[in-house]
Structure 1
Protein backbone atom coordinates (compact mmCIF):
# COMPACT_ATOMS: atom_id res chain seq x y z
CA UNK A 1 0.00 0.00 0.00
CA UNK A 2 1.29 3.48 -0.90
CA UNK A 3 1.70 5.55 2.25
CA UNK A 4 0.45 9.11 2.64
CA UNK A 5 3.92 10.65 2.56
CA UNK A 6 4.52 9.12 -0.87
CA UNK A 7 1.08 10.26 -2.05
CA UNK A 8 1.92 13.83 -1.02
CA UNK A 9 5.35 13.73 -2.64
CA UNK A 10 3.89 12.44 -5.90
CA UNK A 11 1.25 15.18 -5.91
CA UNK A 12 3.88 17.86 -5.40
CA UNK A 13 6.01 16.75 -8.34
CA UNK A 14 3.01 16.94 -10.69
CA UNK A 15 2.95 20.01 -12.92
CA UNK A 16 0.21 21.85 -11.03
CA UNK A 17 -0.45 23.75 -7.81
CA UNK A 18 -1.94 21.37 -5.25
CA UNK A 19 -4.54 22.64 -2.78
CA UNK A 20 -4.19 21.89 0.94
CA UNK A 21 -7.03 22.81 3.31
CA UNK A 22 -6.78 23.56 7.02
CA UNK A 23 -8.45 21.39 9.66
CA UNK A 24 -8.29 21.00 13.44
CA UNK A 25 -10.12 17.75 14.24
CA UNK A 26 -11.52 14.58 12.70
CA UNK A 27 -14.81 16.10 11.56
CA UNK A 28 -13.19 19.05 9.79
CA UNK A 29 -10.77 16.58 8.14
CA UNK A 30 -13.71 14.60 6.78
CA UNK A 31 -15.21 17.81 5.39
CA UNK A 32 -11.94 18.60 3.60
CA UNK A 33 -11.84 15.14 2.02
CA UNK A 34 -15.51 15.35 1.04
CA UNK A 35 -14.80 18.40 -1.13
CA UNK A 36 -11.85 16.98 -3.01
CA UNK A 37 -8.82 18.86 -1.72
CA UNK A 38 -5.39 17.33 -2.24
CA UNK A 39 -4.42 17.21 1.41
CA UNK A 40 -4.95 18.59 4.90
CA UNK A 41 -3.05 21.21 6.87
CA UNK A 42 -3.21 20.35 10.59
CA UNK A 43 -3.34 24.06 11.35
CA UNK A 44 -1.63 25.36 14.47
CA UNK A 45 -3.93 28.38 14.41
CA UNK A 46 -7.08 26.24 14.11
CA UNK A 47 -5.95 23.69 16.71
CA UNK A 48 -5.04 26.45 19.18
CA UNK A 49 -8.38 28.18 18.58
CA UNK A 50 -10.25 24.90 19.08
CA UNK A 51 -8.73 24.75 22.59
CA UNK A 52 -9.74 28.37 23.16
CA UNK A 53 -6.06 29.37 23.36
CA UNK A 54 -3.95 31.95 21.48
CA UNK A 55 -1.79 30.86 18.55
CA UNK A 56 1.39 31.62 20.51
CA UNK A 57 3.06 28.31 21.46
CA UNK A 58 0.65 27.89 24.37
CA UNK A 59 -0.26 24.28 23.57
CA UNK A 60 2.24 21.46 24.05
CA UNK A 61 3.58 19.11 21.39
CA UNK A 62 1.46 16.32 22.88
CA UNK A 63 -1.71 18.36 22.35
CA UNK A 64 -0.76 19.11 18.74
CA UNK A 65 0.13 15.46 18.06
CA UNK A 66 -3.21 14.35 19.55
CA UNK A 67 -5.09 16.69 17.19
CA UNK A 68 -3.01 15.60 14.19
CA UNK A 69 -3.71 11.95 15.03
CA UNK A 70 -7.47 12.60 14.95
CA UNK A 71 -7.13 14.34 11.59
CA UNK A 72 -4.95 11.59 10.10
CA UNK A 73 -7.21 8.76 11.24
CA UNK A 74 -10.37 10.49 9.98
CA UNK A 75 -9.21 10.91 6.38
CA UNK A 76 -7.38 9.08 3.62
CA UNK A 77 -5.75 12.35 2.53
CA UNK A 78 -2.10 13.15 3.30
CA UNK A 79 -1.71 15.46 6.31
CA UNK A 80 0.92 18.17 6.84
CA UNK A 81 1.34 19.11 10.48
CA UNK A 82 1.95 22.75 11.33
CA UNK A 83 4.57 22.46 14.09
CA UNK A 84 5.25 26.15 14.76
CA UNK A 85 8.94 26.55 15.74
CA UNK A 86 9.53 22.83 16.32
CA UNK A 87 8.67 22.75 20.03
CA UNK A 88 12.21 23.55 21.16
CA UNK A 89 15.77 22.95 19.99
CA UNK A 90 17.12 20.31 17.63
CA UNK A 91 16.58 17.56 20.22
CA UNK A 92 12.89 18.45 20.48
CA UNK A 93 12.66 18.46 16.68
CA UNK A 94 14.21 14.99 16.60
CA UNK A 95 11.48 13.69 18.91
CA UNK A 96 8.83 15.66 17.01
CA UNK A 97 9.65 13.86 13.75
CA UNK A 98 9.40 10.47 15.47
CA UNK A 99 6.04 11.34 17.04
CA UNK A 100 4.46 12.61 13.82
CA UNK A 101 5.79 9.80 11.64
CA UNK A 102 4.35 7.23 14.04
CA UNK A 103 0.81 8.61 13.64
CA UNK A 104 0.96 8.57 9.84
CA UNK A 105 1.43 12.26 9.07
CA UNK A 106 2.90 12.89 5.59
CA UNK A 107 5.07 15.85 6.54
CA UNK A 108 5.73 18.64 9.01
CA UNK A 109 6.30 22.38 8.69
CA UNK A 110 8.47 24.40 11.06
CA UNK A 111 9.01 28.15 10.95
CA UNK A 112 12.10 30.25 11.57
CA UNK A 113 10.83 32.39 14.44
CA UNK A 114 12.09 32.48 18.00
CA UNK A 115 10.12 30.49 20.59
CA UNK A 116 7.55 31.44 21.76
CA UNK A 117 6.20 32.51 18.41
CA UNK A 118 3.10 34.63 17.86
CA UNK A 119 0.70 34.35 14.93
CA UNK A 120 2.12 36.09 11.86
CA UNK A 121 -0.78 38.55 11.62
CA UNK A 122 -0.16 40.06 15.07
CA UNK A 123 1.76 43.35 14.69
CA UNK A 124 5.33 43.24 16.01
CA UNK A 125 6.53 40.20 18.01
CA UNK A 126 7.96 38.63 14.82
CA UNK A 127 11.58 37.92 15.80
CA UNK A 128 13.44 35.50 13.54
CA UNK A 129 15.56 32.60 14.73
CA UNK A 130 19.30 32.63 14.06
CA UNK A 131 19.87 30.99 10.66
CA UNK A 132 22.45 28.51 11.96
CA UNK A 133 20.19 27.40 14.83
CA UNK A 134 17.26 26.89 12.48
CA UNK A 135 19.46 24.97 10.04
CA UNK A 136 20.40 22.64 12.90
CA UNK A 137 16.70 21.93 13.46
CA UNK A 138 16.20 21.13 9.77
CA UNK A 139 19.27 18.90 9.65
CA UNK A 140 18.06 17.06 12.76
CA UNK A 141 14.59 16.65 11.21
CA UNK A 142 15.96 15.24 7.97
CA UNK A 143 18.16 12.77 9.82
CA UNK A 144 15.40 11.69 12.21
CA UNK A 145 12.85 10.66 9.60
CA UNK A 146 12.62 7.01 8.63
CA UNK A 147 10.54 7.39 5.46
CA UNK A 148 12.52 9.24 2.77
CA UNK A 149 9.24 10.60 1.33
CA UNK A 150 8.24 12.23 4.63
CA UNK A 151 8.39 15.98 3.96
CA UNK A 152 10.25 18.52 6.07
CA UNK A 153 8.91 21.95 5.10
CA UNK A 154 10.81 25.07 6.18
CA UNK A 155 8.68 28.17 6.57
CA UNK A 156 10.53 31.44 6.43
CA UNK A 157 8.94 34.47 8.08
CA UNK A 158 11.50 36.95 6.73
CA UNK A 159 8.82 38.88 4.79
CA UNK A 160 6.47 38.80 7.78
CA UNK A 161 9.26 40.28 9.94
CA UNK A 162 9.85 43.02 7.37
CA UNK A 163 13.36 41.88 6.48
CA UNK A 164 12.80 41.78 2.74
CA UNK A 165 13.21 39.42 -0.20
CA UNK A 166 17.02 39.20 -0.03
CA UNK A 167 16.86 37.90 3.54
CA UNK A 168 14.06 35.52 2.61
CA UNK A 169 16.09 34.13 -0.30
CA UNK A 170 19.24 33.80 1.81
CA UNK A 171 17.37 31.87 4.47
CA UNK A 172 15.45 29.70 2.01
CA UNK A 173 18.61 28.60 0.17
CA UNK A 174 20.34 27.80 3.47
CA UNK A 175 17.34 25.79 4.63
CA UNK A 176 17.29 23.65 1.48
CA UNK A 177 21.01 22.90 1.82
CA UNK A 178 20.54 21.87 5.45
CA UNK A 179 17.61 19.49 5.04
CA UNK A 180 14.36 21.17 4.01
CA UNK A 181 12.42 19.41 1.24
CA UNK A 182 10.22 22.44 0.53
CA UNK A 183 10.07 26.16 1.31
CA UNK A 184 6.94 27.89 2.56
CA UNK A 185 7.32 31.61 1.85
CA UNK A 186 4.86 33.66 3.90
CA UNK A 187 3.59 37.22 3.44
CA UNK A 188 0.91 39.37 5.02
CA UNK A 189 0.74 41.91 2.20
CA UNK A 190 -2.67 42.45 0.57
CA UNK A 191 -1.31 41.47 -2.85
CA UNK A 192 0.90 38.53 -3.86
CA UNK A 193 3.50 40.82 -5.46
CA UNK A 194 6.36 40.17 -3.04
CA UNK A 195 5.64 36.44 -3.14
CA UNK A 196 5.84 36.47 -6.93
CA UNK A 197 9.04 38.56 -6.78
CA UNK A 198 10.53 35.90 -4.49
CA UNK A 199 9.50 33.15 -6.90
CA UNK A 200 11.10 34.92 -9.88
CA UNK A 201 14.42 35.05 -8.01
CA UNK A 202 14.19 31.49 -6.65
CA UNK A 203 16.88 29.56 -8.53
CA UNK A 204 16.40 26.20 -6.88
CA UNK A 205 14.42 23.16 -7.98
CA UNK A 206 13.01 22.80 -4.46
CA UNK A 207 9.21 23.26 -4.40
CA UNK A 208 7.48 26.34 -3.00
CA UNK A 209 4.34 26.64 -0.85
CA UNK A 210 2.30 29.75 -0.03
CA UNK A 211 -0.50 30.71 2.37
CA UNK A 212 -2.64 33.43 0.70
CA UNK A 213 -4.68 34.43 3.77
CA UNK A 214 -4.00 38.14 3.30
CA UNK A 215 -4.13 38.19 -0.54
CA UNK A 216 -7.35 36.26 -1.23
CA UNK A 217 -7.85 37.45 -4.81
CA UNK A 218 -4.97 35.31 -6.09
CA UNK A 219 -6.06 32.42 -8.31
CA UNK A 220 -4.68 28.95 -8.92
CA UNK A 221 -3.70 30.04 -12.42
CA UNK A 222 -1.72 32.95 -10.93
CA UNK A 223 0.10 30.56 -8.63
CA UNK A 224 0.83 28.06 -11.39
CA UNK A 225 2.24 30.80 -13.62
CA UNK A 226 4.67 31.65 -10.83
CA UNK A 227 5.79 28.02 -10.34
CA UNK A 228 4.19 27.65 -6.91
CA UNK A 229 3.69 23.99 -6.08
CA UNK A 230 1.33 24.18 -3.11
CA UNK A 231 -1.30 26.57 -1.78
CA UNK A 232 -2.47 26.20 1.82
CA UNK A 233 -5.90 27.51 2.80
CA UNK A 234 -4.87 27.56 6.43
CA UNK A 235 -7.87 28.79 8.40
CA UNK A 236 -10.91 29.51 6.21
CA UNK A 237 -12.89 26.45 7.35
CA UNK A 238 -12.67 27.40 11.01
CA UNK A 239 -13.45 31.05 10.32
CA UNK A 240 -16.54 30.11 8.29
CA UNK A 241 -17.70 27.73 11.03
CA UNK A 242 -17.29 30.33 13.79
CA UNK A 243 -19.32 32.89 11.84
CA UNK A 244 -22.07 30.38 11.07
CA UNK A 245 -22.34 29.17 14.68
CA UNK A 246 -22.23 32.72 16.02
CA UNK A 247 -25.08 33.84 13.74
CA UNK A 248 -27.18 30.76 14.52
CA UNK A 249 -26.77 31.08 18.30
CA UNK A 250 -27.62 34.77 18.15
CA UNK A 251 -30.78 34.05 16.19
CA UNK A 252 -31.82 31.23 18.52
CA UNK A 253 -31.30 33.39 21.61
CA UNK A 254 -33.45 36.13 20.08
CA UNK A 255 -36.27 33.85 18.89
CA UNK A 256 -36.12 31.22 21.66
CA UNK A 257 -37.55 28.74 19.17
CA UNK A 258 -35.61 26.05 17.30
CA UNK A 259 -37.83 26.40 14.25
CA UNK A 260 -36.26 29.78 13.48
CA UNK A 261 -32.83 28.24 12.81
CA UNK A 262 -33.86 25.03 11.00
CA UNK A 263 -32.81 26.36 7.54
CA UNK A 264 -29.26 26.91 8.86
CA UNK A 265 -28.81 23.42 10.30
CA UNK A 266 -27.13 20.47 8.64
CA UNK A 267 -29.39 17.44 8.69
CA UNK A 268 -28.74 14.65 11.17
CA UNK A 269 -28.58 12.33 8.16
CA UNK A 270 -25.59 14.19 6.74
CA UNK A 271 -23.78 14.17 10.08
CA UNK A 272 -24.38 10.42 10.40
CA UNK A 273 -22.77 10.03 6.98
CA UNK A 274 -19.75 12.14 7.96
CA UNK A 275 -19.37 10.25 11.24
CA UNK A 276 -19.40 6.90 9.51
CA UNK A 277 -22.58 5.81 11.27
CA UNK A 278 -24.06 4.19 8.16
CA UNK A 279 -20.81 2.33 7.52
CA UNK A 280 -20.78 1.11 11.12
CA UNK A 281 -24.36 -0.19 10.88
CA UNK A 282 -23.62 -1.90 7.56
CA UNK A 283 -20.58 -3.63 9.07
CA UNK A 284 -22.60 -4.74 12.09
CA UNK A 285 -25.26 -6.23 9.80
CA UNK A 286 -22.63 -8.02 7.69
CA UNK A 287 -20.96 -9.57 10.73
CA UNK A 288 -24.27 -10.68 12.23
CA UNK A 289 -25.33 -12.30 8.93
CA UNK A 290 -22.03 -14.12 8.52
CA UNK A 291 -22.02 -15.38 12.11
CA UNK A 292 -25.62 -16.52 11.68
CA UNK A 293 -24.62 -18.48 8.55
CA UNK A 294 -21.73 -20.11 10.42
CA UNK A 295 -24.00 -21.07 13.29
CA UNK A 296 -26.54 -22.64 10.89
CA UNK A 297 -23.85 -24.92 9.43
CA UNK A 298 -23.01 -26.11 12.93
CA UNK A 299 -26.54 -27.34 13.71
Structure 2
Protein backbone atom coordinates (compact mmCIF):
# COMPACT_ATOMS: atom_id res chain seq x y z
CA UNK A 1 0.00 0.00 0.00
CA UNK A 2 1.35 3.45 -0.90
CA UNK A 3 1.41 6.20 1.71
CA UNK A 4 -1.12 8.14 -0.38
CA UNK A 5 -3.47 5.16 -0.15
CA UNK A 6 -2.79 4.82 3.59
CA UNK A 7 -3.63 8.49 4.09
CA UNK A 8 -6.85 8.06 2.12
CA UNK A 9 -7.86 5.14 4.35
CA UNK A 10 -7.09 7.21 7.45
CA UNK A 11 -9.37 10.02 6.26
CA UNK A 12 -12.13 7.75 5.04
CA UNK A 13 -12.49 5.44 8.03
CA UNK A 14 -15.72 5.96 10.00
CA UNK A 15 -14.08 6.98 13.28
CA UNK A 16 -12.10 10.09 14.14
CA UNK A 17 -8.34 9.81 13.78
CA UNK A 18 -5.46 12.16 14.52
CA UNK A 19 -2.37 13.40 12.72
CA UNK A 20 0.53 14.47 14.91
CA UNK A 21 2.45 17.56 13.93
CA UNK A 22 6.09 17.06 13.01
CA UNK A 23 8.78 19.53 11.97
CA UNK A 24 11.56 17.16 10.93
CA UNK A 25 12.36 13.47 10.53
CA UNK A 26 13.13 13.04 14.23
CA UNK A 27 9.81 14.43 15.46
CA UNK A 28 8.00 12.40 12.79
CA UNK A 29 9.68 9.23 14.01
CA UNK A 30 8.72 9.97 17.61
CA UNK A 31 5.11 10.53 16.51
CA UNK A 32 5.11 7.19 14.69
CA UNK A 33 6.61 5.39 17.69
CA UNK A 34 3.91 6.95 19.88
CA UNK A 35 1.23 5.24 17.81
CA UNK A 36 0.00 7.96 15.46
CA UNK A 37 -1.20 6.66 12.10
CA UNK A 38 0.14 9.68 10.24
CA UNK A 39 1.94 12.99 10.65
CA UNK A 40 1.18 16.58 9.72
CA UNK A 41 4.31 18.21 8.32
CA UNK A 42 3.75 21.74 9.49
CA UNK A 43 4.77 24.77 7.45
CA UNK A 44 5.12 26.69 10.70
CA UNK A 45 7.32 23.96 12.17
CA UNK A 46 9.53 23.65 9.10
CA UNK A 47 9.97 27.43 9.00
CA UNK A 48 10.55 27.91 12.72
CA UNK A 49 13.18 25.17 12.93
CA UNK A 50 14.98 26.88 10.05
CA UNK A 51 14.95 30.20 11.91
CA UNK A 52 12.48 31.70 9.45
CA UNK A 53 9.02 33.25 9.60
CA UNK A 54 5.92 31.34 8.51
CA UNK A 55 5.60 33.63 5.48
CA UNK A 56 6.97 31.43 2.68
CA UNK A 57 10.51 32.49 3.53
CA UNK A 58 11.37 28.80 3.28
CA UNK A 59 11.25 27.99 -0.44
CA UNK A 60 9.30 25.08 -1.89
CA UNK A 61 12.55 23.37 -2.90
CA UNK A 62 13.84 23.61 0.68
CA UNK A 63 10.53 22.26 1.97
CA UNK A 64 10.47 19.29 -0.40
CA UNK A 65 14.09 18.45 0.42
CA UNK A 66 13.24 18.20 4.11
CA UNK A 67 10.06 16.27 3.35
CA UNK A 68 12.13 13.72 1.44
CA UNK A 69 14.15 13.06 4.61
CA UNK A 70 10.95 12.48 6.57
CA UNK A 71 9.44 10.19 3.93
CA UNK A 72 12.60 8.07 3.95
CA UNK A 73 12.59 7.74 7.73
CA UNK A 74 9.03 6.86 8.72
CA UNK A 75 6.58 4.27 7.45
CA UNK A 76 3.40 6.22 8.26
CA UNK A 77 2.01 8.70 5.71
CA UNK A 78 2.58 12.42 6.00
CA UNK A 79 0.27 15.28 5.05
CA UNK A 80 2.48 18.17 3.96
CA UNK A 81 1.38 21.72 4.70
CA UNK A 82 2.37 23.50 1.47
CA UNK A 83 0.63 26.75 2.44
CA UNK A 84 -0.85 28.38 -0.68
CA UNK A 85 1.18 26.23 -3.07
CA UNK A 86 4.02 28.77 -3.34
CA UNK A 87 2.40 30.79 -6.10
CA UNK A 88 0.06 30.12 -9.00
CA UNK A 89 -1.07 26.85 -10.60
CA UNK A 90 2.35 26.29 -12.16
CA UNK A 91 4.18 26.47 -8.83
CA UNK A 92 1.58 24.05 -7.48
CA UNK A 93 2.33 21.65 -10.33
CA UNK A 94 6.04 21.78 -9.60
CA UNK A 95 5.73 21.11 -5.87
CA UNK A 96 3.05 18.45 -6.41
CA UNK A 97 5.25 16.55 -8.84
CA UNK A 98 8.15 16.67 -6.40
CA UNK A 99 6.06 15.57 -3.41
CA UNK A 100 4.52 12.72 -5.38
CA UNK A 101 8.02 11.45 -6.13
CA UNK A 102 8.96 11.45 -2.44
CA UNK A 103 5.99 9.18 -1.74
CA UNK A 104 5.22 11.09 1.46
CA UNK A 105 1.44 10.68 1.19
CA UNK A 106 -0.42 13.95 0.71
CA UNK A 107 -0.44 17.72 0.52
CA UNK A 108 -2.68 20.42 1.96
CA UNK A 109 -3.19 23.71 0.09
CA UNK A 110 -4.92 26.72 1.66
CA UNK A 111 -7.16 29.19 -0.17
CA UNK A 112 -5.21 32.37 0.50
CA UNK A 113 -2.86 34.44 -1.64
CA UNK A 114 0.91 34.11 -1.86
CA UNK A 115 2.89 34.80 0.27
CA UNK A 116 0.85 33.22 3.04
CA UNK A 117 0.08 34.86 6.37
CA UNK A 118 -0.19 32.57 9.39
CA UNK A 119 -3.82 32.09 10.36
CA UNK A 120 -3.29 33.25 13.95
CA UNK A 121 -1.86 36.65 12.98
CA UNK A 122 -4.39 39.47 13.07
CA UNK A 123 -3.76 41.20 9.75
CA UNK A 124 -3.35 40.14 6.13
CA UNK A 125 -5.87 37.29 5.86
CA UNK A 126 -6.72 37.65 2.16
CA UNK A 127 -8.68 34.84 0.53
CA UNK A 128 -7.98 33.75 -3.02
CA UNK A 129 -10.53 34.07 -5.79
CA UNK A 130 -12.46 30.76 -5.68
CA UNK A 131 -12.01 29.95 -9.37
CA UNK A 132 -8.28 30.70 -9.23
CA UNK A 133 -7.87 28.47 -6.18
CA UNK A 134 -9.89 25.69 -7.82
CA UNK A 135 -7.38 25.92 -10.68
CA UNK A 136 -4.56 25.32 -8.21
CA UNK A 137 -6.37 22.25 -6.87
CA UNK A 138 -7.02 20.83 -10.33
CA UNK A 139 -3.39 21.46 -11.29
CA UNK A 140 -2.22 19.54 -8.20
CA UNK A 141 -4.56 16.62 -8.85
CA UNK A 142 -3.80 16.44 -12.58
CA UNK A 143 -0.08 16.44 -11.82
CA UNK A 144 0.15 14.00 -8.91
CA UNK A 145 -3.00 11.93 -9.38
CA UNK A 146 -3.30 8.94 -7.09
CA UNK A 147 0.28 9.41 -5.87
CA UNK A 148 -0.76 12.28 -3.60
CA UNK A 149 -3.81 12.65 -1.36
CA UNK A 150 -5.03 16.24 -1.77
CA UNK A 151 -6.59 18.29 1.03
CA UNK A 152 -8.05 21.76 0.41
CA UNK A 153 -7.82 24.05 3.43
CA UNK A 154 -10.58 26.64 3.75
CA UNK A 155 -9.67 29.85 5.62
CA UNK A 156 -13.08 31.51 5.31
CA UNK A 157 -13.68 31.61 9.07
CA UNK A 158 -10.14 32.86 9.73
CA UNK A 159 -10.76 35.72 7.29
CA UNK A 160 -14.06 36.63 8.98
CA UNK A 161 -16.32 35.27 6.24
CA UNK A 162 -19.71 33.60 6.70
CA UNK A 163 -20.66 29.98 7.27
CA UNK A 164 -22.44 30.00 3.90
CA UNK A 165 -19.27 31.06 2.11
CA UNK A 166 -17.22 28.41 3.91
CA UNK A 167 -19.63 25.68 2.81
CA UNK A 168 -19.83 27.01 -0.75
CA UNK A 169 -16.06 27.24 -1.06
CA UNK A 170 -15.50 23.73 0.26
CA UNK A 171 -18.11 22.34 -2.11
CA UNK A 172 -16.28 23.95 -5.04
CA UNK A 173 -12.97 22.55 -3.79
CA UNK A 174 -14.35 19.03 -3.57
CA UNK A 175 -15.75 19.33 -7.10
CA UNK A 176 -12.32 20.50 -8.32
CA UNK A 177 -10.50 17.38 -7.17
CA UNK A 178 -9.81 17.78 -3.45
CA UNK A 179 -9.96 14.41 -1.69
CA UNK A 180 -10.80 16.11 1.62
CA UNK A 181 -11.35 19.59 3.01
CA UNK A 182 -9.84 21.19 6.10
CA UNK A 183 -11.98 23.80 7.82
CA UNK A 184 -9.91 26.13 9.97
CA UNK A 185 -11.03 28.35 12.85
CA UNK A 186 -9.12 30.49 15.30
CA UNK A 187 -11.91 30.75 17.87
CA UNK A 188 -11.31 29.33 21.34
CA UNK A 189 -14.44 27.21 20.90
CA UNK A 190 -15.33 24.70 18.16
CA UNK A 191 -18.56 26.55 17.31
CA UNK A 192 -17.61 27.46 13.74
CA UNK A 193 -16.43 24.00 12.70
CA UNK A 194 -19.41 22.32 14.35
CA UNK A 195 -21.76 24.68 12.54
CA UNK A 196 -19.97 23.82 9.30
CA UNK A 197 -20.47 20.10 9.92
CA UNK A 198 -24.20 20.61 10.40
CA UNK A 199 -24.38 22.17 6.93
CA UNK A 200 -21.88 19.91 5.17
CA UNK A 201 -23.70 17.35 3.02
CA UNK A 202 -20.82 16.15 0.83
CA UNK A 203 -19.26 12.73 1.33
CA UNK A 204 -15.80 14.32 1.15
CA UNK A 205 -14.04 13.95 4.55
CA UNK A 206 -13.46 16.96 6.79
CA UNK A 207 -10.36 17.73 8.87
CA UNK A 208 -9.79 20.36 11.55
CA UNK A 209 -6.85 21.88 13.42
CA UNK A 210 -8.01 22.46 17.03
CA UNK A 211 -5.08 24.63 18.10
CA UNK A 212 -7.20 27.24 19.87
CA UNK A 213 -9.87 24.82 21.12
CA UNK A 214 -7.51 21.99 22.00
CA UNK A 215 -9.22 20.99 25.27
CA UNK A 216 -12.46 19.92 23.56
CA UNK A 217 -13.00 16.17 23.92
CA UNK A 218 -12.44 14.03 20.86
CA UNK A 219 -15.95 12.61 21.17
CA UNK A 220 -17.39 16.03 20.26
CA UNK A 221 -15.54 16.02 16.95
CA UNK A 222 -16.32 12.38 16.31
CA UNK A 223 -20.05 12.84 16.90
CA UNK A 224 -20.03 15.81 14.52
CA UNK A 225 -18.68 13.58 11.75
CA UNK A 226 -15.18 15.06 11.56
CA UNK A 227 -12.72 12.56 10.10
CA UNK A 228 -9.31 13.89 11.17
CA UNK A 229 -8.04 16.29 13.84
CA UNK A 230 -4.50 17.61 13.53
CA UNK A 231 -2.18 18.44 16.43
CA UNK A 232 -0.33 20.91 14.23
CA UNK A 233 2.28 22.57 16.44
CA UNK A 234 2.18 21.01 19.92
CA UNK A 235 5.33 18.94 19.37
CA UNK A 236 7.26 22.03 18.25
CA UNK A 237 6.05 24.04 21.23
CA UNK A 238 6.93 21.24 23.65
CA UNK A 239 10.45 21.00 22.22
CA UNK A 240 10.97 24.77 22.51
CA UNK A 241 9.84 24.76 26.13
CA UNK A 242 12.11 21.85 27.06
CA UNK A 243 15.15 23.44 25.40
CA UNK A 244 14.51 26.80 27.03
CA UNK A 245 14.23 25.19 30.48
CA UNK A 246 17.45 23.22 30.09
CA UNK A 247 19.47 26.09 28.63
CA UNK A 248 18.41 28.47 31.40
CA UNK A 249 19.21 25.94 34.13
CA UNK A 250 22.57 24.99 32.62
CA UNK A 251 23.58 28.62 32.14
CA UNK A 252 22.83 29.30 35.79
CA UNK A 253 24.18 26.11 37.37
CA UNK A 254 27.16 25.51 35.04
CA UNK A 255 26.91 21.76 35.62
CA UNK A 256 24.60 18.96 34.54
CA UNK A 257 24.31 17.74 38.14
CA UNK A 258 20.59 17.40 38.96
CA UNK A 259 19.76 17.98 35.29
CA UNK A 260 20.93 14.77 33.63
CA UNK A 261 17.83 12.91 34.74
CA UNK A 262 15.59 15.42 32.97
CA UNK A 263 16.86 14.63 29.49
CA UNK A 264 17.03 11.39 27.51
CA UNK A 265 20.16 9.28 27.58
CA UNK A 266 22.49 9.60 24.61
CA UNK A 267 21.72 5.99 23.70
CA UNK A 268 18.17 7.14 22.86
CA UNK A 269 19.58 9.51 20.25
CA UNK A 270 21.52 6.65 18.66
CA UNK A 271 18.40 4.49 18.80
CA UNK A 272 16.31 7.07 16.97
CA UNK A 273 19.08 7.48 14.39
CA UNK A 274 18.84 3.70 13.81
CA UNK A 275 22.48 2.92 14.51
CA UNK A 276 21.52 -0.71 15.14
CA UNK A 277 20.58 -1.12 11.48
CA UNK A 278 24.01 0.14 10.43
CA UNK A 279 25.70 -2.48 12.63
CA UNK A 280 23.65 -5.21 10.93
CA UNK A 281 24.48 -3.80 7.52
CA UNK A 282 28.19 -3.81 8.34
CA UNK A 283 28.00 -7.52 9.11
CA UNK A 284 26.30 -8.12 5.76
CA UNK A 285 28.18 -5.79 3.42
CA UNK A 286 31.57 -4.77 4.81
CA UNK A 287 33.04 -8.05 3.62
CA UNK A 288 31.17 -10.42 1.31
CA UNK A 289 32.05 -13.86 0.03
CA UNK A 290 29.82 -14.99 -2.88
CA UNK A 291 28.00 -18.34 -2.58
CA UNK A 292 30.18 -21.23 -3.65
CA UNK A 293 33.33 -19.43 -2.61
CA UNK A 294 35.21 -19.87 0.62
CA UNK A 295 36.65 -17.08 2.66
CA UNK A 296 40.03 -18.68 2.21
CA UNK A 297 39.95 -18.63 -1.59
CA UNK A 298 38.89 -14.98 -1.70
CA UNK A 299 41.59 -14.00 0.76
CA UNK A 300 44.26 -15.85 -1.26
CA UNK A 301 43.64 -13.83 -4.45
CA UNK A 302 46.78 -11.95 -5.49
CA UNK A 303 46.79 -8.35 -4.31
CA UNK A 304 47.07 -7.01 -7.87
CA UNK A 305 44.09 -9.11 -8.94
CA UNK A 306 41.92 -7.79 -6.10
CA UNK A 307 42.78 -4.17 -6.79
CA UNK A 308 42.37 -4.41 -10.57
TM-score tier (shorter): over 0.9
Distance in 1 (CA, whole Å) between partners of 2:136 and 2:79 is: 18
Q: Corresponding residue for 1:115?
A: 114
Select the residue among 162, 167, 170 that pairs with 1:169.
Answer: 167
Select the residue among 180, 183, 197 that pairs with 2:181.
Answer: 183
1:228 equivalent in alignment to 2:226: yes
Q: Corresponding residue for 1:134?
A: 133
The CA RMSD over aligned residues, in Å, is 1.6
Shift of residue 285, structure 1, vs aligned partner:
2.6
Which segments of 5 or more consecutive residues in structure 1 lack a partner in the other structure?
none
Distance in 1 (CA, whole Å) between partners of 2:288 and 2:237 is: 46
Q: Is the 8 A contact 1:9 1:149 kept in 2?
A: no
TM-score of the superposed pair, with normalisation by structure 2: 0.92
> Could you list the per-position Cα deviations for residues 239-277 of structure 1 after superposition, in whole angstroms to 9, with x for gaps in the alignment?
000000000000000000122320211111111111101
Q: Is the 8 A contact 2:137 2:176 kept in 1?
A: yes
Select the residue among 189, 204, 208 that pairs with 1:206.
Answer: 204
Q: Corresponding residue for 1:18?
A: 17
Select the residue among 279, 282, 286 that pairs with 1:281.
Answer: 279
Question: Match of 2:55, SS?
Answer: coil
Q: Corresponding residue for 2:302?
A: none
Distance in 2 (CA, whole Å) between partners of 1:28 and 1:19 is: 15
Shift of residue 219, structure 1, vs aligned partner:
2.2
Shift of residue 298, structure 1, vs aligned partner:
3.6
Shift of residue 192, structure 1, vs aligned partner:
0.7
Q: Corresponding residue for 1:254?
A: 252
Larger CA deviation: 236-245 vs 261-270:
261-270
Q: Is the 8 A contact 2:100 2:147 kept in 1?
A: no
Q: Corresponding residue for 1:81?
A: 80
Q: Is the 8 A contact 1:32 1:40 kept in 2?
A: yes
Question: Match of 1:184, SS?
Answer: strand
Shift of residue 282, structure 1, vs aligned partner:
2.5
Count how many residue pairs are aligned between Structure 1 and Structure 2.
297
Which segments of 5 or more consecutive residues in structure 2 lack a partner in the other structure?
299-308
Larger CA deviation: 204-213 vs 162-171:
162-171
Larger radius of gyration: 2
> Could you list the per-position Cα deviations for residues 139-174 of structure 1 after superposition, in whole angstroms to 9, with x for gaps in the alignment?
11111114x262111001000011121111111011
Distance 1:15 1:286, change over 3 A: same
TM-score of the superposed pair, with normalisation by structure 1: 0.95
